[in-house]
Homo-oligomer: A and B are copies of this chain.
Amino acid sequence: KSGEMAKLTKLIDNDVFRAYATYATIVLLKMMLMSLITAYYRVTRKAFVNPEDTEMFGKGENAKKYLRTDPDVERVRRGHLNDLENIVPFLGVGLLYALCGPELSSALLHFRLFTGARIVHTLAYLIPLPQPGRGLPWAAGYMVTISMAYNVLKKVWHL
């Protein structure tokens, strides 16, 4: 059993894998933050979608008026969905890329660019910045994932 543990520890001690684990966790925590921001806007804007969520504001007709959409809530939700659409590919492709044994410097470049791009994307979405303030970081994150996918396919190709 201790031999197996050592083996697992080996993977997590690999520098590239540790970098992947660090940035993957940071970018997932950033995505999870979107849930809290949505909840914050729902409560402060009093804009809910489930009838059972409005009951703390009163019963019956009085509560029903809080079943509405709010532009700020919808904006955060779009940012959250965009995170899912882009972070899921990064997690999957990034893990395989890290296992392909790339140079540490080149792996760090990919992981840092992606993580930075997604943080800027969220800020640009929430502030909101005029375009291409949101489009550019979106494209940067997208290209990073494409580049890692290219490296993975070049290395493992097995149809």
Question: Contact check: which of B22, B49, B52 meets A131 at CB < 8 Å?
Answer: B52
Say yes or no: is A113 at the interface (Cβ < 8 Å to chain B).
Answer: no
Chain A interface category by residue count: 35 or more
Say yes or no: is A73 at the interface (Cβ < 8 Å to chain B).
Answer: no
Main SS class of interface, A: helix
Say yes or no: is A11 at the interface (Cβ < 8 Å to chain B).
Answer: yes
Q: In the docked arrangement, what's the CA distance between A29 and B22, Å?
A: 24
Is B5 a contact of A149 with CB atoms below 8 Å? no
Is B84 a contact of A21 with CB atoms below 8 Å? no
Say yes or no: is A12 at the interface (Cβ < 8 Å to chain B).
Answer: yes
> With A28-B93, A35-B142, A96-B21 in contact, is A155–B7 under 8 Å at CB?
no
